[in-house]
Amino acid sequence: MKAKQPEQPNGVKEIARRAKVSIATVDRVIHNRSGVSAKTRARIEKIIQELNYQPNIIASRLASRKILNLAILLPAVTTETAYWEILLAGVGQAEEEIRQMGVRIERHFFDFNDRSSFPKAAKQLLKNPVDGVLLAPLFIDEATEFCRELQEKNVPFVFINSGIPGLDSLSYIGPELFRSGYLAAHLMSYCLAPQDKIMVVNMTRQIEGIHPLLRKEEGFRAYFAEQPERIVKADVRESSDATVEKKLAEALAADPAIKAIFVTSSRVRYVARYLETAGKGDILVMGYDFLPDNVAWLQKGMIDFLICQKPQEQAYRGIMTLYQHLVLGAPVEKEYFMPIDIITRENHMYYKN
């Protein structure tokens, strides 16, 4: 019978022996708990590095049976756009991977068209203990107040889709919104004559204080800073065919020089549908997000370009960032910018969110 090989002396017991401390003290250092002097902690950490010790995090989590409670705060899925449904798929993807580690994700939603719904949803979220939060901070003032409450409770939070400057989030994962709008303007400039005008369309009932749309518009205008007269603004307060038709028909009739439309959100399909009905297929159209309805209009040639920002990957990375920080104690990137992808009729079949 083959003799059993002796276990290598590089576990917790060996660390404790070399540091001349108890196993409990080593465990506190490994899991970054208090109750250890700075001098002792430094000695133990040095020995850990010398032995290249890698704690079995999975075994430790399973043995402790401790539940990690995460929460998300996102816009509710509506018939107006499938964008938030794709983000939820990313949350579910991450949840499947880390559920065995005792991670639970509670879902909370607010109405994208009603800013008063955000603090109500945030209040509901805080009724139960939470260890970390993933959120899309669309309404600046309301999200800022909520995040300050999280900071008071020492609850880390991760922004996706858009961030808020000045708030100490654990991480921001999403597009660089200003550059996204700037890129859209740059691309359009190649397709238009110098005298052509562009209509910028924001489609939401609550444009005031909505950070993502305004930041994209800001970047778009920055590109044409020396030709501001080329930009015509149109805010569509309701996502319905009738409202879009009325607003766009009035603007196009008033200014025949408009040869392109830039929609700052995923609701670009409404514009495409109106232009087809009105027989205005010669107007260049650019909008956001790789959604089934948008792709259908892209294939028909009524949308020329879609700017895409991988929403499923944003949400997946957001949850995994909280997990890496809270469970593994691993460093995380303060900002992780998603690529700004340009999708056309020629390359859409190769793209994934």
Q: Are strands 335-337 and 305-308 parallel, antiparallel or unpaired?
A: unpaired
Distance of alpha carbon 249 from alpha carbon 104, whole angstroms: 49
Three-class DSSP labels, 25-41: HHHHHHCCCCCCCHHHH
pLDDT for the residue 80: 79
Place of tokens 């983000």: 87
pLDDT for the residue 35: 82
Distance of alpha carbon 337 from alpha carbon 235, whole angstroms: 28
Q: DSSP state, 76?
A: P
Q: Residue 304's closest CA among 278, 324, 285?
A: 285
CA angle in degrees (0–180, nearest 5) for 325-169-208: 145
The fold for domain 177-308 equals Rossmann fold (3.40.50)
pLDDT for the residue 335: 94
Distance of alpha carbon 28 from alpha carbon 69, whole angstroms: 22
What is the pLDDT tens value at each position of the chain, 353 positions in all? Answer: 444 444 444 578 888 889 999 888 887 887 667 788 989 988 988 888 887 776 665 555 545 557 899 999 999 988 778 899 999 999 999 999 888 888 999 999 999 888 899 999 999 999 999 999 999 998 989 999 999 999 999 999 999 999 988 889 999 999 999 999 999 999 999 999 999 999 999 987 665 556 788 899 999 999 999 999 999 998 887 778 888 999 999 999 999 999 999 999 999 999 999 999 999 999 999 999 999 999 999 999 999 999 999 999 999 999 999 998 998 777 889 999 999 999 999 999 999 98
CATH 3.40.50.2300 location in the chain: 64-174+311-339, 177-308
Distance of alpha carbon 144 from alpha carbon 167, whole angstroms: 7
Q: What are phi and psi of 145, to 5 degrees?
A: -65, -45
pLDDT for the residue 7: 43
Provide the edge-to-edge strand list for the sheet that holds 258-263: 231-236, 197-203, 258-263, 284-288, 305-308, 341-343
Distance of alpha carbon 315 from alpha carbon 272, whole angstroms: 28
pLDDT for the residue 3: 43
Q: DSSP state, 114?
A: -
Q: What superfamily does domain 64-174+311-339 belong to in CATH?
A: Response regulator (3.40.50.2300)
